[in-house]
Amino acid sequence: MKLCTYQSPKGPRVGVVEDGRVFDAGFDGPMTDLIRDWPNARAALEKAVSQSDGLRLEDVQLLAPVLRPGKIFAIGLNYADHIAESKLGTPEHQVWFTKAVTSINGPYSPVQIPKISHFVDYEAELVAVIGKGGRHVPAERAAEHIFGYCVGNDVTERLWQHRTPQWSLGKSFDTHAPIGPWITTADAVTDVHNLDLRCSVNGELRQSSNTRHLVFNVFQQVEHLSQAMTLEPGDLIFTGTPGGIGAAMDPRQFLKEGDVVRCEISGLGYIENRFQKEA
């Protein structure tokens, strides 16, 4: 099942995406509440789809599927080719940073090039959405704790990222975490570790890889994070980006006004964002 958050005349609503249409889920609450109540809510959603004509997908404004996640964690240096282009060694331990909740952005919404610096870069990523919360989740049980997956762009301001050892500020500018276009529930993803991932800038292919090349796979990531903290429904995990970032090109290619970045993952859809100067 594909679950989205869309803008309705009454505000954001959870919807089901099917056959090019969006069906209101009949659920009064945000996506995080739906995820918490998923065992009970799924049958009602399926009934809502069967009893409604829905709206054409092209007539709907899609928002970030999870508007206010409790936590956003992202792993760095998790594809071999990205490690190589960064001129760093393969990490012995998982390298994690946070992104601010206010960085969340819609799948087709504008992304800001901030006033204070213009070294803005893209990082196409698979994003895992936590379903059943928990602590000390072993890797072999991690799939039970993942609600679904979506596409993300870990937009990064490189100057702020690298001028201190801590990356979080450079990763947390407003609008710098577009996600979507919807959540594909985990049961609809045959093999999360065999998904093609691509990123293009103005139609030029920049990143192309497959999730089988993750250094630490998705389940290992859940295990590692849950040793430190309780994972909760709706938490987001950005699982790493492959090689091909603009900062590693010769000459370096940072995003400028009017650039359009498209990130797509097989079976999960795509997000596409135009970059514009902060007002």
Residue 149: C-alpha distances to residues 23, 55, 59, 143, 188 (Å): 20, 23, 24, 11, 10
pTM of the model: 0.97
Measured CA to CA, the distance from residue 218 to residue 211 in angstroms comes to 9
Domain 72-277 carries which CATH code?
A: 3.90.850.10
Give the other-Cβ count within 10 Å of 116's Cβ: 9
Query: CA–CA separation, 39 vs 14, rounded Å?
Result: 16
φ/ψ of residue 58, rounded to 5: -70, -15
Query: How far apart are the C-alpha atoms of 23 and 16, rounded to whole Å?
Result: 5
Nearest to 157 by CA among 200, 125, 114: 114
- pLDDT (tens place) for every residue of the chain, 279 residues total: 999 999 999 999 999 999 999 999 989 999 999 999 998 899 888 888 888 899 999 999 999 999 999 999 999 999 998 998 988 888 999 999 999 999 999 999 999 999 998 899 999 999 999 999 999 999 999 999 999 999 999 999 999 999 999 999 999 999 999 999 999 999 999 999 999 999 999 999 999 999 999 999 999 999 999 999 999 999 999 999 999 999 999 999 999 999 999 999 999 999 999 999 999
User: What's the confidence (pLDDT) of residue 265?
Assistant: 98
The full set of domain ranges for the chain reads 2-63, 72-277
Residue 50's H or E segment, with its range, is helix 38-50
Distance CA 273, CA 109 (A): 6
pLDDT of residue 268: 98
Give the pLDDT score at 142. Answer: 98
Strand ranges for 99-139 from DSSP E? 104-105, 111-113, 120-121, 124-130
- Sheet holding 204-210: strands in order across? 111-113, 269-277, 260-265, 196-201, 204-210
Q: What are the tens digits of pLDDT across the range 109-156? A: 999 999 998 899 999 999 999 999 999 999 999 999 999 999 999 999
H/E element holding 162? helix 158-162
